[in-house]
Amino acid sequence: MAIKHLVLIFSLFILSVFAEWYEEVEVRVLDKMGRPVPNAAVYITWEVSRAKGNATTQTQFTNERGRTYFKLYNTEFSPSLTNYDYIVFVSYQNKNFSEKFKANIGTMPRTVQIDAYLVRFVAKDKDGKPLSLKLLIDSKYEIFTDESGTAELILTTGKHTLRPLFFDLVQEKSFEVSNSDLVLNVDVELYSCNFRVVDDNGVPIPGVKVTIGPFSYKTDSEGLIRFENLTKSKIIAEISYQKYLFSESFDISSKNSITYVLDTHPPKIEDIKTKLDGNLIQLRAVIVDPGKYPSSFKGSKAKINVRYYPAEDIERLVPMYSVGYNTYEAILKLESGQKNIKYSIEATDSAGNTLISSDVFVLEGSTQTQKVLEKEQPPIFSLPDFSKFDFSSLLTLVIVVIVAAVAFYLYKNKSLVAAAGQAPKEQESKKPSPSEIFKAVPKKKEA
């Protein structure tokens, strides 16, 4: 490297001694208001000699002060044939500018003033708060706003586009730079919301992961999360907790508080009843989804089925249908020669919580069958079903009741009369005879 530097220095020395002219050129690029323009592409074209023709420097970019540097030389040894002119070309934001200068005239920087002005961008949300974000100008140039939401860029005159780069925000606007500096307000419409997660009894659930767009947080001890700087009013929230994973849509354009119920309790299966009818078993049960805010049995995840085994190598699954309030029923088909049947009721709510209740239905010859048959037998004494009586039957029943009442009354009265007439006879039959009276009086002894 040291040898190369020495060669370069020696070459420049030779050129400076033997060349017709040699100049170290400082180029300065300014806008229309005299401010330095950084990142402008600059190169120079000049004539080396009549024999060699023109030469062009490599392109260099201006620094923060809007300056860049070149070294030019001319090897024409005839002063009358020497061309002292060179042209500085400036390219900035797809616009080209140029200025012609003469070598060895003055020591001031060669200034090229371009047709451009300063644009100040002020980014803020819908509440007027400043935003720190990235701005994309003309789909090429990126600048960042500071804590006050401000950024500056020198732009050439004409039409431009602006797009705030803020997560998944999709917002673009057009503006035009004419003959003066410009202050452009970048109003970004952002949203915020409070997200609360409770279980089906209304109890807050801590540690639930909620993701909305690029933001992902976990609920605190009160089941709360605060989301800010959301780019859309219609959001999709992904809720993740233990085995649960749900995705729900919300609109926060008018309501910025959301309460999400995460059902964590399984259903309850109660009052299971079975009834045998030929080779069919009617299975009925009361199935409820408990809690103040249950997820119920609606949705793609909800299902209520009966899984039963009519034989050891046969498994069947039949759905249970609603036949009343919280009451579900299924029909199980038996196989010939079967002695018992194993079955399981599987109830799953909309949140995916599942409860399984299993039992065995024993056929004839068992105590369970006897109980089923006993349930079907009517009691020995039962009242007649008056709903089936017509008017004539009812009238006949009334007459029978009246006759029975009169007969009972006469029977009672006859018994009383008979008892009253029998009493005097019994008293008369009990009077003592004269001999019995005398026998009762003791005789006196003779002296």
Mean pLDDT of the chain: 82
pLDDT of 402 > 60? The answer is yes
Mean pLDDT value across residues 210-221: 94
Tokens 């089925």 identify what position?
305
Question: Would you say the C-alpha torsion 359, 284, 288, 351 has a positive or negative sign?
Answer: positive
Beta bridge partners of 406: none
**The pLDDT value given to residue 434:** 47
pLDDT digits (tens, 9 = 90+) for 148-172: 999 999 999 999 999 998 888 888 9
pLDDT of 248 > 50? The answer is yes
Question: 105-116: b or e for each residue (b if 16 or more CB lie within 10 Å)?
Answer: eeeebbbbbbeb
Q: Which of 262, 143, 165, 266 is nearest to 208 (CA)?
A: 262
pLDDT digits (tens, 9 = 90+) for 287-310: 999 999 998 888 888 999 999 988
Give CA 6 to chain center in angstroms: 70
Report the distance separating Cα 392 and Cα 395, nearest Å.
5
Mean pLDDT value across residues 342-355: 92
Residue scoring higher pLDDT (249 or 4): 249
pLDDT of 242 > 50? The answer is yes
As a dihedral over the C-alpha atoms of residue 376, residue 381, residue 383, residue 389, rounded to 10 degrees, the angle is 80
**Residue 193 near residue 251, CB atoms below 8 Å:** no
Report the distance separating Cα 193 and Cα 215, nearest Å.
12
Mean pLDDT value across residues 95-117: 91
Tokens 């767009």 identify what position?
213
Percent of the chain with pLDDT over 70: 80
**The pLDDT value given to residue 75:** 84
**The pLDDT value given to residue 382:** 42
Percent of the chain with pLDDT over 90: 52
pLDDT of 369 > 70? The answer is no
Q: Domains in the chain, ordered, with CATH? A: 11-113 (2.60.40.1120), 116-188 (2.60.40.1120), 191-262 (2.60.40.1120), 268-376 (2.60.40.10)
**Residue 123 near residue 130, CB atoms below 8 Å:** yes
Mean pLDDT value across residues 413-433: 50
Residue scoring higher pLDDT (337 or 146): 146
Beta bridge partners of 55: 46
Report the distance separating Cα 214 and Cα 257, nearest Å.
19
pTM of the entire structure?
A: 0.57
Residue scoring higher pLDDT (360 or 434): 360
Helix (H/G/I), strand (E/B), else coil: 394: helix
Beta bridge partners of 72: 23
pLDDT of 82 > 90? The answer is no
Question: Would you say the C-alpha torsion 324, 327, 328, 329 has a positive or negative sign?
Answer: negative
Mean pLDDT value across residues 32-60: 92
Mean pLDDT value across residues 121-127: 90
pLDDT of 329 > 90? The answer is yes
pLDDT category at 432 given cuts 50, 70, 90 is low
Radius of gyration of the chain (CA): 55
